[in-house]
Structure 1
Amino acid sequence: MDLSPTALVLLGLLLAGWTFGAAWLALEARNRARQAKAARSTARRLTRMIDDSPAVPLLVKADGKIEGPERLAAWLGLDHLPGYLSELAADGAGLSSHDLSDLSEAVRRTQKTAAPFGMVVSPVGSKRSLALRGQLADPVISATGAALVWWFDFSESQAELTRMRAETKRAQRDFAALVGLIEAAPMPMWFRGPDMKLRLVNTAYVQAVGAGDADTVVQKQIELVEQVDGLSAAQIASQARDQDLPVERIVQATVGSQRRTLRVSDLPLGQDGVAGYAVDIEEMEEQSRAFRAFREAQRSMLDQLSIGVAQFDADRSLAFANLPFQRLFAMSPLYHVDPPSFDRFLDMARDAGRLPEARDFPAWRRELGEWFAAGAAREEAWTLSDGTHLRIVAQPMPDGGLVLLAEDRTEQLALSATRDTLLRTRTATFDSLFESLAVFAPDGRLQLWNRLFSTIWKLPEEFLDEHPRIEAVLERIAPRLARPAQRKAIGEVVRAATLDRQQRGGQVQMSDGRTLEFAGVPLPDGNGLLTVLDITDSKKAEDALRERTTALEEADAVKTRFLANMSYEFRTPLTSIGGFAELLQSGVAGELSEQAQEYVGAILTSVERLGAQIESVLDLTQSEAGLLPIATSEVDLLPFVTDVVREREEAIEGKNLACDVRGDKSAGVVQADPRQLGRAIGNLLDNAITATPEGGRILVALSRPKKGVRIVISDNGPGMKPSELARALDGTRTGSDGTRRTGLGLPLARQLIEGHGGRLDLQSEPGEGTTATIWLP
């Protein structure tokens, strides 16, 4: 079929278009294949990057389904990644219920509000620490409002963070402890910045400078140490920083209100500044001064000793020698100007003749030099050429020095010889005594005895020469005792004298009839002295005296019973006689004649006198027997003595006597029995009235000296001789006609006054009168 040209043209155009379209489709398909390949490569690369990245994404859809890599399941300890969020919790793996609940709540909140969240979880049974960062997923990723949760494994970071936190807390604690230590430090401490200004001070610094608080100190830059040699504390600290060396110095500073000595140290801390502290060494300085004073006092004291003392240093140089040492070794007082060495000292002492002779002096000197290295003290005895005996003691010191003691024992040796002579003299003296003596040591061993000791106990000399113990001696003397058990008493006496240092004694009866008295006396040297004396004759005399004493005691008992009954036996008949005489005088039996009245008056007068005498006899006898009762009370002396004198006014006027009572209220009061004291003063007045002739004068004077009260009663009677005065005090008096009269006034007055704790003094001169002085406390 023939085609028209137009058709051919159209057919050609159609074929060309189809060919062009096919070519374009082929090219487009090729480009899309390349793009798909590139997309797949990119997807694989991105997937690999996500797999290798430290973060794992998890897409949580609105219905709870999840999508994510299997690597997340490995992190959570699961076999595979579950399909829903609620299935991330499993037995022994996955998330804990608490963490899952928090995650679900955070995801739900993000899905609703698009608010991001973050949290940290730890899988069950794993030490991993996973950080979660959640956000709303891009619509490209999920168009249904899903949440995209990124999981980060920061276990190593968490461990490092935990370690750093622990270290930080430890550093904070250490810093707090250091700050507390600095604050609690008793010494002032401070810190200066690079500009050398105070930045930090502790409480001790604040108290030392007397500031209110640390801020005030820092603000005002109050320095503890003043300028020294024109340099301030900040300048000294700057020098320490520049030299990078600690600077230590001792300065004076005012701490509080006291001037103290401080050791100040500045410690450079590089470019951060300078730290400083101050130590109060005032007590150390005081101790140093006290030590120096003690050393001077000790050396002054050593100069007062009789023993020579010298001290050598570790380099063997003479450091000190007291005066006795210098005198013993003829040293110059100027030794301290050029202190000699030990060897030179020996050479100087040898030249002065103050060392013993030695055959090889250099070797002997080397031996003495070994004293410095000796482990203990060395002692030697030196005999000098002039007869001087020296005791040398060398004491090595811990510092390598040596203390040398030199004692002159010449006099002691002479005293020792004298002591030997005295011991021999003592032995001879012991043997010549009439007492038996024996000395026992504290261990009971016999040390010394005299011949009479062996004789009185009949002990053989051979036995005593063995110095037996007290037990053996008691065994030997037991058969010779009347009662062998008494040997224990002798042993106790010896033990008390030696060990208890007490003096005891006793008596023993011997089987031969002798009586021995023994006593143990402690001696100053620690021994005990046993003395034994034969008192057989004295014992017999003592027994006789004891029998007489018994008889006297029985007589005294009879006298006591007599005194107890005499008051009734004497006074009752006398009272009856007086009563009947008063009845007769009153006319009960009828009217009496004048002569009978005189007889009755004489009877009453005699009864009164006899009653007074009986009263005096009873009181005197009771006073001598110590049975007189005295009831004391306060007695005003002046009116009391005046009343006693007025009671005898009739007798005084009967003899026309002048009685002068002197005294005032200064006499005061005394503690006395008014009745007994009145009787004593009355008896003395009665004796004065009796002894004073008619027209005579009696003086009664009261006074109070510094101690006690004095009452003086004097008369101008004929007086008495000393012998007459002695008899009057005994109750017997000789009258002017030569007859002896018995009176108990003076003895009774003396007894009554002595019963009051006082004293009666009598003075009498023939032709001058008698003076009685009463002294009362």
Structure 2
Amino acid sequence: MTALSSTLTIVIGLLLAGWTIAAGWMMIRASSRAAGSEATRKSARRLGRMIEESPAIPLLVRTDGRIEAPDRLARWLGLDRVPDFLSELSGDSDTGLSAEQLSTLTAHIRRTQKTAAPFKMTVTALGSNRSLALRGGLADPSVSPIGAALVWVFDFTEAEQELGRLRHEAVRAREDFGALVGLIEAAPMPMWFRGPDYKLRLVNSAYVEAVGAATPDAVVEAQIELVEAIGGMTAAEFARQAAQRRAAIERVVTATINGARRSLRVTDLPLAGEGIAGYAVDIEEMEEQAREFRAFREAQRSMLDQLSIGVAQFDGKRQLTFANQPFHRVFSLPPGVVNERTSFERILMVARENGRIPEVRDFPAWRSEKAEWFTADEPLEEAWPLPDSKHLRIVAQPLPDGGLVMIAEDRTEQLAISAMRDTLLRTRTATFDNLFEALAVVAPDGNLELWNRSFPTIWGLEPEEIDAHPQAESLLKAIAEKLSDRAQIEPIGQVIRSAALDRRKREGTAELADGRTLDYAGVPLPDGNGLLIVLDVTASRQAEEALRERNRALEEADAVMTRFLANMSYEFRTPLTSIGGFAELLMSGVAGDLQPQARDYVEAIAQSVTKLTEQVENVLDLSQSEAGLMPLTKQTVDLMPFVTDIVRKREERILEAGITLDLRGDAGSKAEADPQQLRRAIAQLLDNAIVFTPAGGRIRVEIRARREATRITISDNGQGMTHSELARALEGIRPSIDGTRVERRQGLGIPLARQLIEAHGGALEITSRKGQGTSAVIILP
């Protein structure tokens, strides 16, 4: 029994142990399955998230048209949600796929479901610029075992835009390349392209023509080089150097072009690993011009070296490039300044040290001012007076390249000669103008070249009439108006022509309308001009005539004076006294009352007696003065009120004659004189002026006190007198009406006035011109 119990216990223990083990194993297995399920769920979520984030969206289309897709596809198509069926992918008019796109997609899917054939297509959702690529095929049975179609939708909008841009750039590049090829082909200069192996791949027509080939292909095939080898280096080796340096190489070579040697500027240009481009520019004409320019410059500088003035050239950097020998001498420059390319500022400094520039207070500022010559718009000229009394003329000519040509001329000798010439001209002009004769120089072409101040005056011309250097014809017309007879102008013209053209001397005489007589002569000058000399001989002619008349007048006057002095006291004064006394008695009523008409007659007789008495007194005074018996009682006379009183007494006559009288003078002017006799002298001259001045005329009375004498001037613009008439008036005589004898003038005003003034120790000066008036000057000591 015990053994059975032990056995049973063991069996039960084993069963319990087995059950425990089985239960543990079951628990472990269940736990493992739960863990696997969780991992599967996490993997599913991760895969779903990866699909959501992937650039492609799966679209599963079942055989009945149902679709399965993420919500992201709806957003790509502009739909609110993913529809249940494929036919619903076409939304409103502005969302989803278009009807045409949906029809095409449906056809592709049906074909794939039936034949398992894949398809590709691209669509663009309505109302969006998003581009979608569809890649469809039969779905794996594990995905959908019923024969569904799986469509992967890719968003390639950016790729599409980039592709469009690339297509556009490709088209433009092809167009640009075509234009560039056309430009290269049309270029007048040879152009070529070398590949990375430095062999010719492309040449233009100018290259083909230059090497004399038939076609570009022939040139490329034969590798015909345009440029010959230089120093053992071929054109390809120069291209290799350009590629290695990664910089363009330019050189000037000589090549045969169309059978002629030409100078070319060849350039090899690397193209960023694509190859080497090259082109050649024909510079033969430029080289020829450069050679001609160098020859011209050398000839010019050689010529400048022969000049006597200094010339220097500065380049755009303001450095001296040329200076001839006179320039070195003018500024005392040391040798080698040209070879050392000395600057402009340094040249001025050296010139200053040698005393060859003007003395200036601020030399740096002065030098900076001269440096502005390089940028001036026009040539500049200056005069430089040097400390050693030399004078330089400086001309600065800016050049288009920024340089400067500086010209320095020593004008010391020229200025000295000019000063001497100016002195001679001034001396000649002063001599010419102060000659007594009137002179004029007439050129062979008839122009009046030169004249002195007396020339227009002697002919009565205004200076403005000849200031414009008139022709001889114009001058003769002006002179003809001043002649008494216009026929006299012809001889004057002949004298001028003979002197200027015929080179002969001729003379003549002309009478002017104002009574003057002129002698003129034409003299040929050594310089080809003619000299016209004019002399006023009126005075000498009038003097001759006056002497003759005076001689006759003196003889007659002597006889008249003798008789007059013998009888004037009794013959004149006694009858006049009687007549005046009886007239006064009649007017006083001694013979009874007079009728009005009778009284007028008596008054007229009394006035005539008074006037005649005054004339008798004048004659007596004149006779006494000529005989030296004039009695004078001198006293100090204040002239201004004295003359004013004389004028006031004649105010009524002046107004009746319609004359204007102007009285002016120095206040306080005084003279020692007999008031009565001086009054008579001034009155005689003033009366004479009133009588011979027409209405509207003007009389001027002026008193001027000077240290040596006092002057009383009485002038008018009346009739005036000729020289002969004035001479007779001063003598108090005139020819008779029949011209057979000489008789006294009526009114002895002028002779009496002169006698009275001379009796005071003074003088009477009278000048008169016919038609222009008379001026009488009383000079009192």
- TM-score bracket for the superposition, by shorter chain length: 0.3 to 0.5
Bigger radius of gyration: 2
- Return the TM-score normalized by structure 1: 0.46
